[in-house]
Amino acid sequence: MHRLALSPLLALALHLPSLAAERSLVTDEPVFVKGRPEGAAEYVAKAESTDGQHLALTMQKLQQGLDRPFLIWAIGSSYTNMLGSGEFWQRELPKRFPKTKQVEYRKMVGNSCPWQYLRGWARHLVIPDQPDLIITYTIGNPADLEKLLIELRRHTTADIIVPSIHWRERDIPLWGQSENAADQDVAAVREVCRRHHVEFVENRRDWADYLTANKLPVPALLKDAVHQSDYGAHIINSNILAHFRVPQAFSYEPASREKTIQPEKQPDGSFTAKFTGTRIDLHGITAPDGGTFRVLIDDKPAREANAWLMSYVQPDAKNAKEGKGANPRDQSPHGITLGQKIVPQTWTLVMTSDSGDYTLTGSVTGPDGNGNAFKPFTSASGQILIEPDLWRRAERNRTGDRFTFEIKPAVLDEVTFKAATATPFVLRLAQMLSNGDHTLRLVPVKPGTATISAVQVFQPPGR
């Protein structure tokens, strides 16, 4: 690491625009535009021989193309938010990979949101969507990052990218002394990523090299004391993009996580497929004389499978707000854990005091117990568990604040091949199954044909 001589006057001059800047009401970040520092060279990201080793599926999908958009999910803090809304990826990926026609980018961010709370958003938003790639750019305890990665690895086949944090004014005392940030142990984050075969981006190192090469102070790539400027965001995205490459060797085979198989047609007209994994999709073609088939998982109606999806925990718009740039989203339970004997329904949580007390009511189950945001809670029916570790800023909740979420089956009961014209289609028959051996059966319930191109099975690497 090189020591950077920082002129206090220059630092102040570069920082002045942010002092009077408008700030986002969503994430309290500056919204003015700040481009490449005057006189600085255009940034060119570099790649090492091992970069991209944990992106085997990503590279296969981008190089071969998909019959749907390539889906990226980003979760994190305002640092993630300032990487944009997918414009960079929608522009760059089709240029580099001509068979990739569409890129879809979704994100959920919060003010100063660390990895601890992202586990809830991963559970309610990212995992149900089953993306191709997940990016998280924030700070936090490496142990919480590990919990997040374990959850994602158990329930998705997505590749995951974690960049180290950029240099900020609070890090200036560490310049030339340590690779760490004031609030990030880079070596610990790197090690967590290594253990879970997650693509780690040496963003902090490359950011420092650019500042040094161009004789720039740290604030030159910032909008305020902590947030990256627009050009700083371009550097971060470019550092991530540099990993979209074929390395010396991939760390896994794509077919170990996603593959297609052909179901067997039985004498009674049903179809059977044995598979290992948590999810199975049907690729078929409709027809005017198409039939309807009941879905069975492990010889039981699919509806009996213990496989559920939870919607986002939605804070009421009228909930109390506290602090500059406050948003009800940042003062809420970010994650719910499912218990036993689940009944699909909508749940409502209402705060009954200013000290964390609440009631939980199900639209079918009815009143299901009283809890406190600072203590572990299991509902009276045993269906819902709420962990204090996934409830962010509960001390700011006030009497009357409301939160709602929905539990629904992660399976389809039936599939029909009937349509006016012959059209290819893809249906997700089941997800959130236990990660093991299963049998799929499609049993005819209404006469007609069924053209099945294949079934695609997904086996996440985590157990």
Tokens of 39: 């006189």
3-state secondary structure of 446: strand
Question: Residue 33: its pLDDT value, please?
Answer: 77
Question: Residue 35: its pLDDT value, please?
Answer: 83
Q: What is the DSSP string of 263-291?
A: PEEPTTS-EEEEEEESEEEEEEE-BTTB-
Helices (H), 43-185: 56-64, 78-81, 87-96, 115-121, 127-129, 142-155
Distance between CA 334 and CA 313 in Å, rounded? 6
Tokens of 347: 């749940």
Residue 85 clears pLDDT 70, i.e. is over it: yes
What is the share, in percent, of the chain residues with pLDDT greater than 70?
A: 93
31 — pLDDT class (breaks 50, 70, 90): low
Sheet hosting strand 70-76, strand order edge to edge: 103-109, 70-76, 133-137, 159-163, 199-201
Residue 288 clears pLDDT 50, i.e. is over it: yes
Distance between CA 252 and CA 461 in Å, rounded? 10
Distance between CA 356 and CA 360 in Å, rounded? 13
H or E element, residue 250? none
Question: Residue 124: its pLDDT value, please?
Answer: 98
Left if phi > 0, otherwise alpha if psi is -120 to 50, otherwise beta: which for 54? alpha
Average pLDDT of the segment spanning 123-143: 98
Question: Residue 10: its pLDDT value, please?
Answer: 36
16 — pLDDT class (breaks 50, 70, 90): very low
CA atoms within 13 A on the CB side of 417: 25
What are the beta bridge partners of residue 23? Answer: 30
Residue 1 clears pLDDT 60, i.e. is over it: no
Residue 14 clears pLDDT 80, i.e. is over it: no
Mean pLDDT, the chain, as a whole number?
93
CA atoms within 13 A on the CB side of 231: 18
Average pLDDT of the segment spanning 433-451: 95
If we measure between CA atoms, which residue out of 417, 427, 421, 420 comes closest to residue 451? 417
Average pLDDT of the segment spanning 117-138: 98
Burial of 204 per CB tally in 10 Å (0-12, 13-18, 19+): buried
Distance between CA 33 and CA 37 in Å, rounded? 12
- Per the CB < 8 A criterion, the answer to whether 242 and 46 are in contact is yes
Question: Residue 327: its pLDDT value, please?
Answer: 85
Distance between CA 83 and CA 339 in Å, rounded? 36
Tokens of 215: 């004789």
3-state secondary structure of 200: strand
Is the model more confident about 230 or about 13? Answer: 230
Tokens of 379: 């509902």
Tokens of 199: 């693509």
**Alpha carbon 423 to chain centroid, angstroms:** 31
Question: Residue 280: its pLDDT value, please?
Answer: 98
Question: Residue 24: its pLDDT value, please?
Answer: 62
Question: Residue 6: its pLDDT value, please?
Answer: 41
Other CB atoms closer than 10 Å to residue 241's CB: what's the count? 17
Distance between CA 7 and CA 356 in Å, rounded? 48
Distance between CA 9 and CA 27 in Å, rounded? 29
pLDDT digits (tens, 9 = 90+) for 223-246: 999 999 999 999 999 999 999 999
Question: Residue 413: its pLDDT value, please?
Answer: 96
Distance between CA 136 and CA 107 in Å, rounded? 10
456 — pLDDT class (breaks 50, 70, 90): very high
Tokens of 257: 């996580």
Please report, for residues 66, 82, 194, 458, the alpha-carbon distance to residue 277 in angstroms, rounded to integers and kept in the order given.
Answer: 21, 36, 23, 5
Residue 2 clears pLDDT 50, i.e. is over it: no
pLDDT digits (tens, 9 = 90+) for 173-226: 999 999 999 999 999 999 999 999 999 999 999 999 999 999 999 999 999 999
Residue 398 clears pLDDT 70, i.e. is over it: yes
Question: Residue 322: its pLDDT value, please?
Answer: 82
Distance between CA 376 and CA 389 in Å, rounded? 9
Question: Residue 326: its pLDDT value, please?
Answer: 76
